[in-house]
Amino acid sequence: MFQVKVPATTANLGPGFDCLGMALQLYNTITVKTDRSFHISLAGTYKEGLPEDESNLVWRTMCHFWDFIHFPVPSVDLTFHNEIPPARGLGSSSAAIVGGLAAANFLAGSPCSSFELLQLANEIEGHPDNVTPALYGGVTLSVPTEKGVLPRVLAQAPKLKAVVVIPDTHLNTKKARGILPPEVPRQDAVFNISHVSLLTEAFIREEYSLLKEGMCDKLHQTQRAALIPGLLETLEAALQAGAYGSALSGSGPTLLALVPNTSNLEVSSSMLDMLRKHDINAQAMLLDVDSKGTLADVVD
Ligand code: HSE
């Protein structure tokens, strides 16, 4: 029997659209028992509504991997324990894909490297900003190159925590991407290039006072405010309450604030209060950054 543990992730971190991401200490776990008849069971806080048959995304990804490496599909008993809320901008689909690839790779004797798994995960997911931190942990940059996605870990264990405020509502990534215009004005491109550079410096030098400016964005957040009432006001409330920086988490609806390690509940309460003023109920979590990424291990 073995287990694969995959972290939740937050993507973009403001201006790093489809490039920057961070892994968080909130996990989905896949338990695999070999030489059993095929069976899938779901467990954990977020098991409702997910398929327990061959249409399950984790299982489909595992089969895709075995097909890719020409490995016969084994008969396995699988348990998926889900603690990452689905369709909220915390990388649940990336966790399913990365977890499925890592489990299938482990079962086949680990023929593929993390770099190769990343390329496969990116092809399935369509953008690398969640799958890279899910695989490698820490704060990551994904660079599209002619030879595939180049993963860079900017900070494996930054000295800060993440407040995630998760609204009750779901938001489909396709819808949240569909609202974005296909072209961007040159001055907005320049704004984001310069702000991603500042953000990168903030993480590498551990100068977190740069995050407030560094996490500003012109490419997607204001545009997505139409889908998430109170988005911009809540990001501002986080800053007023002492967050280093704040941003939409991935394509939303979850909102992210990066806070000092010593931070109390002030940032999350201010964010929840502001969302409530916009008639949105949400739950808040204070999470550490995951520095390990996806792990596969034999268990008793
Ligand atoms: N970079 C993607 C987006 C993240 O903002 O659409 C989706 O999780």
- pLDDT of 222: 96
* Spatial distance between the Cα atoms of 234 and 146, rounded to a whole number of angstroms: 39
3-state secondary structure of 214: helix
138 assigned ligand-binding residue: no
Residue-wise pLDDT for 204-248, tens only, equals 999 999 999 999 999 999 999 999 999 999 999 999 999 999 999
Beta strands in the chain (DSSP E): 2-11, 20-34, 39-43, 76-82, 139-145, 148-155, 160-167, 245-248, 255-260, 282-288, 295-298
Residue-wise pLDDT for 40-71, tens only, equals 999 999 998 899 999 999 999 999 999 999 99
CA of 101 to the centre of ligand 1 (A): 21
Q: How many residues does the chain have?
A: 300
189 assigned ligand-binding residue: no
CA of 268 to the centre of ligand 1 (A): 23
Question: Ligand 1, atom 8: nearest CA belongs to which residue?
Answer: 250
Question: Ligand 1, atom 1: nearest CA belongs to which residue?
Answer: 18
* Domains of the chain, start order: 2-155+290-298 (3.30.230.10), 160-288 (3.30.70.890)
- pLDDT of 173: 86
CA of 251 to the centre of ligand 1 (A): 5
Pocket of ligand 1 (CB under 6 A): 11-12, 17-18, 89, 127, 129-130, 173, 176-177, 220, 250-251
Which residues have CB under 8 Å from 101's CB, separation 6+?
61, 62, 65, 112, 117, 120, 121
3-state secondary structure of 74: coil
Question: Ligand 1, atom 6: nearest CA belongs to which residue?
Answer: 251
Mean pLDDT of the chain: 96
Which residues have CB under 8 Å from 98's CB, separation 6+?
6, 117, 121, 131, 134, 135, 294
CA of 111 to the centre of ligand 1 (A): 30
Q: Is the pTM of this model over 0.85?
A: yes
Query: Which range is least confidently modeled, 152-161, 164-173, 176-185, 215-224?
Result: 164-173
**How buried is residue 213: exposed, middle or buried, by Cβ count under 10 Å (0-12/13-18/19+)?**
middle
CA of 92 to the centre of ligand 1 (A): 12
Average pLDDT over residues 79-99: 97
